[in-house]
Amino acid sequence: MHNVFLIMVVIKNITCIGAGYVGGPTCSIIAQKCPDIVVSVVDLSQSRIDAWNSNVLPIYEPGLEEVVFSCRGKNLFFSTNINEAIEQADLIFISVNTPTKTYGLGKGRAPDLKYIEAAARNIAKIARKSKIIVEKSTVPVKAAESISRILSANQTNDVRFQVLSNPEFLAEGTAIQDLLIPDRVLIGGEQTKEGREAIDALASVYKQWVPEERIIKMNTWSSELSKLAANAFLAQRISSINAMSAICESTGADIEEVAFAIGMDSRIGSKFLKASVGFGGSCFQKDVLNLVYLCEALNLPEVAAYWHQVVEMNEYQRKRFANRIINCLFNTASDKKLALLGFAFKKNTGDTRESASIYITKYLLEEGAQVSIYDPKVTMDQIMLELTDPDLGLDPKKVKRLVTIAPDAYSCIENAHAFVVATEWDEFKLLDYNLIYKKMLKPAFAFDGRLILDHAHLHDIGFQVEVVGKIVSSGYPQPLTPTLPPTTSFFLMKGPELSSSSRAPPTIYG
Ligand SMILES: NC(=O)c1ccc[n+]([C@@H]2O[C@H](COP(=O)([O-])OP(=O)(O)OC[C@H]3O[C@@H](n4cnc5c(N)ncnc54)[C@H](O)[C@@H]3O)[C@@H](O)[C@H]2O)c1
């Protein structure tokens, strides 16, 4: 068995199962940095593979095209021939999706590992020579053990597998930079001779461009848990600053000033302290829920509740922001045109998974608003797909009646009562807001859910400016229907129910 692994120390052929946001960019960078390695990225989806082989890649990521076009057809190949790619590989990355389960045991919390299991069973069925299997997907702790069991239960005498954990830390929008200059590369594996050989073999691939001190070797479970922990900490930071933003809106404190002040503390640091409409993306919520489920399974209910609050706070923030829009629009959005700028979950990606925009649109549609949407990188089909997803609970006929997709920001906003910045695309900072103001109904409302606009300038133009975590415009209209009984104590109020009339009145520009 030992000899079987010694011959594999030099990796010549890598296969990646799953050509998504992780598999595609990660393997493109490996191909670029390791010209002696043949890299095959395979997927079940013919359309996705066709797109990887075309001039219009299936995902938008700054810098990705240049990397793919420089290696494709040389040592980088995209294919649906999964079996052939498995057979040829010395090392296989499993980069398939691990969404939150929508059915059965653990529904709404546990990760759905059916794609991981299917990939592992396929490897076991096809492989005729020993291989290193690398778990790149984000998985619960001990998933590598399950993969190992599936593989070893099906292995023949002279075929051996070593399973490693090598979680991916790239962030969409900056994936290429993150892959080129990673903060760290984690490799977890069995603490045996064969396990260490496999870890070293994978490390030798990364060493071709990542400084050795950034390649961290550890046991498999630490590696698996570190990925969940990192995403939980990042999500928690966003929920923490968003919780502070609710206090700011009720008191007159300014969330950007507060974030700056606390970020100056070197123990806290300044990154990831931007208040917003809430986090989105395919990972944060899923991975925190994954952690919550793990804690519940380990009979750690207090730890589970602690982390679950991070997700609840995120939902609260989205809802609170949508309520604020409705409140400001005289408590009715019915039949009003509202322009939503941005549908991707963050800038520089076309990914809409779990985007805050989906939920804000949902809440506005439930109020009967006509929502016009513009995003520089998200197609009309993708927006409609998200809004008519049965899990969202909107009537597809209502969506088609009330939602329009605009080709640019100006037509999106024309004749609108309000515009709402939901994604922090740079181009939204550069729009001609004087022109926009002229083309809107009055009073014209500007809602900045990403803190990217020049609020003083907008206020001077005449907009009623509403921003996450601060009060900008004074004297904004009273809701027609007060949302709180007059006796409610200021200190007991909850954010979403705050009416403008009951807020503390500090004015910055008014
Ligand atoms: N997207 C991110 O920013 C990011 C960052 C770090 C980690 N991750 C993790 O990486 C994993 C993949 O995420 P993603 O965003 O790339 O997902 P994705 O949905 O974009 O891609 C997954 C791909 O796997 C394919 N697939 C599923 N089962 C398959 C099988 N048996 N054989 C072949 N192909 C199969 C799907 O068709 C799909 O194209 C997830 O576990 C995710 O949590 C994602």
> Closest Cα to atom 20, ligand 1: which residue?
20
Q: Which atom of ligand 1 is nearest to the CA of 171?
A: 3
Mean per-residue pLDDT of the chain = 92
Q: What is the DSSP string of 471-504?
A: E-SSSPPPPSS-SS-TT--GGG--GGG--GGGS-
Distance 354 CA to ligand 1 centre (A): 15
Q: Which amino acid is at 255?
A: I
H helical segments located in 273-408: 284-297, 301-328, 356-366, 380-387, 396-402
How far is 78 from 63, CA to CA, in rounded Å?
18
Distance 115 CA to ligand 1 centre (A): 9
How far is 399 from 420, CA to CA, in rounded Å?
18
pLDDT in tens, 303-360: 999 999 999 999 999 999 999 999 999 999 999 999 999 999 999 999 999 999 999 9
- pTM here is 0.91
Q: Which of 131, 217, 227, 470 is catalytic?
A: 227
> Closest Cα to atom 31, ligand 1: which residue?
119
> Closest Cα to atom 28, ligand 1: which residue?
115
Distance 9 CA to ligand 1 centre (A): 27
**How much is the pLDDT for 205?**
98
Candidate of 17, 22, 353 to mutate for ligand 1, largest count of ligand atoms within 8 Å of Cβ: 22
User: What average pLDDT does range 109-124 have in this prediction?
Assistant: 96
Beta bridge partners of 15: 40, 92
How far is 201 from 3, CA to CA, in rounded Å?
14
Candidate of 41, 96, 224 to mutate for ligand 1, largest count of ligand atoms within 8 Å of Cβ: 96
The number of C-alpha atoms within 13 Å of 197 and in the hemisphere containing its C-beta is 18
**How much is the pLDDT for 474?**
61
How far is 160 from 412, CA to CA, in rounded Å?
58
**How much is the pLDDT for 473?**
83
For the record, the structure tokens of 191 come out as 């603490």
Determine which of 1-15, 56-70, 119-133, 482-496 has the lowest per-residue pLDDT on average.
482-496
Which pLDDT band, with edges at 50, 70 and 90, does 464 fall under?
Answer: very high
**How much is the pLDDT for 8?**
52
Q: What is the DSSP string of 249-272?
A: HHHS--HHHHHHHHHTSTTT-STT
| pLDDT at residue 480 greater than cutoff 60 | no
Q: Which amino acid is at 476?
A: Y
Q: What is the DSSP string of 50-74?
A: HHHTSSS-SS--TTHHHHHHHHBTT
**How much is the pLDDT for 154?**
81
**How much is the pLDDT for 1?**
43
Q: Which amino acid is at 427?
A: E
Q: Which atom of ligand 1 is nearest to the CA of 169?
A: 6
**How much is the pLDDT for 479?**
43
User: What average pLDDT does range 121-146 have in this prediction?
Assistant: 95
| pLDDT at residue 35 greater than cutoff 70 | yes
Establish whether 101 is a catalytic residue: no
| DSSP type of residue 160 | -
> Closest Cα to atom 13, ligand 1: which residue?
97
Contact (Cβ atoms closer than 8 angstroms) between residue 501 and residue 329: no
Distance 24 CA to ligand 1 centre (A): 9
> Closest Cα to atom 4, ligand 1: which residue?
22
Backbone angles phi, psi at 175, to 5 degrees: -60, -40
The gap between the terminal CA atoms of the chain, to the nearest Å, is 76
How far is 236 from 227, CA to CA, in rounded Å?
14
Determine which of 295-309, 371-385, 491-505 has the lowest per-residue pLDDT on average.
491-505
How far is 31 from 74, CA to CA, in rounded Å?
9
Distance 22 CA to ligand 1 centre (A): 6
- Omega of the bond leading into 443 within 30 degrees of 0 (cis): yes
Of the chain, the percentage scoring pLDDT greater than 90 comes to 88
User: What average pLDDT does range 462-482 have in this prediction?
Assistant: 73
pLDDT in tens, 198-239: 999 999 999 999 999 999 999 999 999 999 999 999 999 999
User: What average pLDDT does range 472-479 have in this prediction?
Assistant: 56
User: What average pLDDT does range 268-272 have in this prediction?
Assistant: 96
Contact (Cβ atoms closer than 8 angstroms) between residue 243 and residue 278: no
> What contacts 305, CB < 8 A, 6 or more positions away?
none
How far is 426 from 348, CA to CA, in rounded Å?
9
How far is 169 from 439, CA to CA, in rounded Å?
43
Q: Which atom of ligand 1 is nearest to the CA of 111?
A: 41
For the record, the structure tokens of 477 come out as 């209209």
How far is 280 from 449, CA to CA, in rounded Å?
13
How far is 406 from 379, CA to CA, in rounded Å?
10
> What contacts 462, CB < 8 A, 6 or more positions away?
437, 442, 444
How far is 363 from 366, CA to CA, in rounded Å?
5
| Ligand 1: lining residues by beta carbon, under 6 Å | 17-23, 43-45, 48, 82, 95-98, 115, 118-119, 137-138, 168, 170, 172, 282-283
**How much is the pLDDT for 231?**
98
User: What average pLDDT does range 239-263 have in this prediction?
Assistant: 96
Distance 419 CA to ligand 1 centre (A): 34
User: What average pLDDT does range 299-303 have in this prediction?
Assistant: 98
How far is 364 from 497, CA to CA, in rounded Å?
16
Q: Which amino acid is at 62?
A: P
| pLDDT at residue 247 greater than cutoff 60 | yes
Distance 397 CA to ligand 1 centre (A): 31
Distance 59 CA to ligand 1 centre (A): 12
Of the chain, the percentage scoring pLDDT greater than 70 comes to 91
pLDDT in tens, 48-93: 999 999 999 999 999 999 999 999 999 999 999 999 999 999 999 9
| pLDDT at residue 481 greater than cutoff 60 | no
> What contacts 10, CB < 8 A, 6 or more positions away?
90, 201, 204
Establish whether 168 is a catalytic residue: yes
Q: Which of 27, 71, 248, 283 is catalytic?
A: 283
How far is 478 from 502, CA to CA, in rounded Å?
9
Candidate of 97, 147, 168, 227 to mutate for ligand 1, largest count of ligand atoms within 8 Å of Cβ: 97
Q: Which atom of ligand 1 is nearest to the CA of 175?
A: 3
Candidate of 16, 21, 80, 347 to mutate for ligand 1, largest count of ligand atoms within 8 Å of Cβ: 21
pLDDT in tens, 155-209: 777 899 999 999 999 999 999 999 999 999 999 999 999 999 999 999 999 999 9
**How much is the pLDDT for 228?**
97
**How do 470-471 and 464-467 pair as beta strands?**
antiparallel
**How much is the pLDDT for 249?**
92
Which pLDDT band, with edges at 50, 70 and 90, does 509 fall under?
Answer: very low
Establish whether 114 is a catalytic residue: no
Q: Count Cβ atoms below 10 Å from residue 475 Cβ, excluding itself.
A: 10
**How much is the pLDDT for 478?**
44
**How much is the pLDDT for 454?**
97
Q: Which amino acid is at 491?
A: F
Q: How far is CA 117 from the centre of its chain?
A: 23
How far is 199 from 134, CA to CA, in rounded Å?
10
Q: Which of 131, 135, 136, 168 is catalytic?
A: 168
